[in-house]
A and B are shown apart, each in its own frame.
Chain A
Amino acid sequence: MLNKQELSEIILKMVPEATFPEGTQLTEVIVPAENILALAEGLKNNKETAFDYLISLTAVDFTTNMTVVYHLDSTQFRHLIVLKVVLNDRENPLVDSVSSVWATAEFHEREVFDLFGIRFNNHPNLKRLFLEDDYGFPLRKDFRDEINIIER
């Protein structure tokens, strides 16, 4: 089980541009969108980290950007890490798919595409999961459904 310091050293070797926000509940890493696939492969295949289990893959709409959030666990060491990719292009968000690294990512990515409209490069079957094709992207903050109004 590695601590934050050891994890960040390993990650910085793989992706020098990675940043580590302070004061978070779990160890967090923010990486540029173009590095996510390489980092995912690295973290899974590195013997010290062995992040072989993708707990969840989701996104958050911060209105200024879209952030894709990956929660990873290792079935061997049971340490957790959170990867984040900030997508500044809210109109046409695009990030590499990690479904080649973790099979479960294929379906989590489909869910994110369905609810946020974030597209994933090289995804084997990127189509909507829950909703109809012409429905909007409901988890975006600017989404407004005239029939079932949910206002905060």
Chain B
Amino acid sequence: MSEEIIKDVIVRENEDYIINMGPQHPSTHGVLRFEVCLKGETVKYLIPHIGYIHRGIEKMCEADTYQQIIHLTDRMDYLSAHINNEAVCMVVEEAMQVEVPERVKYIRTILDELNRLASHQLWWCAFGMDLGALTAFFYGLRDREHILDIFEESFGSRLLHSFNTPGGLMHDVHPNFQKRTKEFITYFRKKLPEYDQLLTGNIIFQERVKGVGYMSREKAIAYGVTGPSARGSNLACDIRKIAPYGAYDKVQFNEILMTEGDTFARYQVRMGEMWESMKIIEQLIDNIPEGDFTAKMKPIIKLPAGEYFKRVETARGELAVYVVSDGNKTPYRMKFRSPNFSNLFVMNELAAGGKIADLVAISGSLDLVIPDIDR
């Protein structure tokens, strides 16, 4: 193998002023570095540098059984841990042709939406903080705590759940689960309008986000942008609608779409999704069927030789799992198409030509989680 290394091809001009944003910048929420080229205060171009927390999850998967892989997926997009787990579980269940009990589907869907709510709450409070509204941070974390308490009671962990397992759940949910979830929805329905009062209608906030970081629908498709970021550009890309999984085919909910394509549109999509998530939970929480919490699975899972592909909608977009199996108890190759990886690289298109002060608003509106990019 010729070890020829291709050097940086971008020719930098002398008058360009390069500034590094990160890898320890507070608004990147992780170790991500933007190499920003400035002309005055205007951004000429921006190059994302990633890999600071590349852990080689795809390589590690090749040495692990499917039950062990679940724990690795938690560590990709840690704010959508439950949804990541579900993706791997479903790809295994589909390959083994296991029918999971209805109870599992309902509980998984409720937990997905609770997870999405918690993720959007954290995004909202961090987004406010990035733009200088510190109060938002306390509002968001106050309400998120209620969801994390529900998680803690049912499966002992708050952030990295690993509650799903191929075939079903690790154990049944806590007897209080239904009661507490309903209490939370009642509580949060009162609190969510406060978010709008504090930030959405705030003129200082609106000045920072309206008309900033415009992304056209074509650009979103070309860069493979998914999730709320793409739905702000009027791209219907919700996997829950396109290919329903779990109990999503049994519930009524709207896919929030905005046409403006700017930072404020992406903000409004996420705010709308919080209402929709609550709607989904309310439709399911009283109808959880009785039954087993897991299907019968063999202790050693060997997928039949072949290739399997499954997509789910995480809080940030489309997560696709691609497994190549050779019939062994470990996968031959495991690929995670993470939403943040594709969403990140549209940054240059959004930020170029704008002011450097808008950079924080744009990267905040894409809601990047860095461990998901690096994997």
A residues bordering B, Cβ < 8 Å? 23-26, 52-56, 58, 60-61, 69, 71, 75, 78, 80, 82, 91-92, 102-104, 106-107, 111, 115, 117, 124-131, 133-134, 138-139, 150-152
Contacts and interface: CB of A to CB of B under 8 A. Distances in A.
B318 A55 contact: yes
A60 B333 contact: yes
Contacts of A82: 307, 309
B367 interface: no
By secondary structure, the A interface counts as loop
Nearest to A150: B63
Contacts of B9: 124-125, 127
Contact of B224 (A23, A80, A102): A102
Interface in B320-354: 320, 322, 324, 328, 330, 332-333, 335, 337, 341-342, 345
B73 to A, nearest CB: 16
Nearest to A21: B307
A130 B337 contact: no
B372 interface: no
A138 to B, nearest CB: 5
Contacts of A129: 50-51
B40 to A, nearest CB: 26
Contact of B320 (A25, A55, A107): A55
Contact of B222 (A56, A92, A102, A126): A102
B54 A71 contact: no
B10 interface: yes
B1 interface: yes
A102 B218 CA distance: 11
Contacts of A52: 221-222
Contacts of A128: 5
B242 A78 contact: yes
A52 B220 CA distance: 11
A118 to B, nearest CB: 11
Contact of A104 (B94, B320, B345): B345
Contact of A91 (B1, B219, B222, B332): B1
